[in-house]
Amino acid sequence: MDSKQPLHEQLKAMKVAAHMTLHQVSEGSDGVPESTISRILSGETDRPSFDVVARIVKAMHGSLDVIAGIEKPSHAAEDAKLRERLEHAEKVAALAQERAQYMKKWLVALFSAFCVLVVVIVVVLILDKLNGDWGYFRH
């Protein structure tokens, strides 16, 4: 952001870079109404108070030093969002792995039960065949 730009242009650019809506900025700015933020970003408010600008910049994870031209802009907001997305992806991957282990455990149990059932049926059929007086196979 160029410190020679008007304040509202810098704030608007910061909002776009942070990928935030007016509602999100308002929620994160400790009570600055959306209408006030909208007027500031559109340039309708010539000289907003320092406190309001500071809260808006903080809500967008920006820097007042960048607005004042003391520092060059960093990509901290983008980095924070990427870290947040990475943490979310790691949580999802961990949950997926946990679910896969749970399902594997159940599949092993079901397969074992199926094998036991097959063995029992085969043993019953063999005993039935060997003993001709009872069961399906009679001699």
Answer yes or no: is 19 within a domain.
Answer: yes
Answer yes or no: is 49 within a domain.
Answer: yes
* CA 58 to centroid of chain Cα atoms: 22
- What CATH number is given to the structural domain containing 45? 1.10.260.40
Answer yes or no: is 62 within a domain.
Answer: yes
State pLDDT tens for residues 15-57.
Answer: 998 889 999 999 999 889 999 999 999 999 989 999 999 999 9
Answer yes or no: is 127 within a domain.
Answer: no
Answer yes or no: is pLDDT of 139 > 90: no
CA distance 83 to 12: 23
Q: How far is CA 79 from CA 17, 55, 59, 99, in A?
A: 11, 20, 15, 30
**Cα angle 18, 22, 24; round to 5:** 65
Highest mean pLDDT out of 8-22, 78-92, 109-123: 109-123
Answer yes or no: is 118 within a domain.
Answer: no
Answer yes or no: is 36 within a domain.
Answer: yes
How many domains does the chain fold into? 1
Q: How far is CA 62 from CA 15, 36, 103, in A?
A: 9, 18, 45
Answer yes or no: is 136 within a domain.
Answer: no
Answer yes or no: is 11 within a domain.
Answer: yes
Instruction: Identify the domain containing residue 58 by its residue range.
Output: 7-74
